[in-house]
Amino acid sequence: MDNIVLCSIEGCGKPKSYTSKLYCPMHYQRKRKGMDMRPEPLILLRKDTFDFFENIKPGSADCIIWPYWRNSSGYAEFAHRNYKSKIVSRNVCIKFHGKPRNESDEAAHSCGNGHLGCVNPDHLSWKSHKGNHEDRESHGTNLAGVENPNAKLTDEKVLQMRKMRGEGFTYQAIADAFDVAIATSHKICIRKGWKHI
């Protein structure tokens, strides 16, 4: 049996990613995005995170930045058995604005800094997924196409895929030519994916 190589971040203890020689999948993504590389502090700081959450108050125009754990997209998270969601902004929105009308509604940030860990209740409101998406576009925080750090394609490749489809190539042939899944080539060609082009 092979020896398991652990993530090089002190205190992490998770197996390293097959795509990285140094980091587990979470820390690999965080490194790629230039985010905080500290190991998850939730277990050590659970009381502190709870106290910080309980002391969040409205009335400030500035963002209140969550000083603890954030997910790979930068959104504040915590783990406490009394809270249904681990996303802090959703729990702050419930605390100050009540439950959402629809369970699918999202806690939207008027400041556009949710990805930086803002949990200011004055910056949060309930919106539909579509409304939240429109907010992200207006703030310039919607990472579509090549702006997304996980993007495998470029604008030019997407245009070439659509051109190939117009010339009669199958979705499978297009997927093979660009090393993507057939579902990806299909979505791009019917303009459900990469809609901005």
Phi first, then psi, for residue 88 (nearest 5°) are -65, -45
Say what the pLDDT of residue 43 is: 40
Q: How far is CA 98 from CA 37, 65, 145, in A?
A: 34, 21, 35
Q: How far is CA 110 from CA 97, 100, 117, 135, in A?
A: 14, 17, 13, 7
- Fold adopted by 146-189: Arc Repressor Mutant, subunit A (1.10.10)
Three-state DSSP class for residue 93: helix
| Main-chain dihedrals φ then ψ at residue 179, nearest 5 degrees | 55, 50
In one-letter notation, the amino acid at residue 8 is S
| pLDDT per residue rounded down to tens, the chain (197 residues) | 356 677 787 767 777 776 677 878 877 877 777 776 665 443 434 567 778 888 889 998 999 998 887 877 788 887 655 544 578 899 899 999 999 998 899 999 999 888 888 999 999 999 999 988 888 878 877 767 776 667 788 999 999 999 999 999 999 999 999 999 999 999 999 998 888 78
Q: Which CATH architecture has domain 42-142?
A: Alpha-Beta Complex (3.90)
Check residue 160 and give its pLDDT: 95
Do 98 and 127 form a contact (C-beta atoms < 8 A)?
Answer: no
Whether 106 and 132 have beta carbons less than 8 Å apart is answered as: yes
- What is the reported pLDDT for 44? 38
Tell me where in the chain the CATH 1.10.10 domain(s) lie.
146-189
Distance of CA 179 to the CA centre of its chain: 24
CB 41 within 8 A of CB 69: yes
Q: What is the pLDDT of residue 36?
A: 65
In the prediction, which pLDDT does 53 show?
82
Provide φ and ψ at 102, rounded to 5°: -115, 140
Delimit the CATH 3.90.75 region(s) of the chain: 42-142
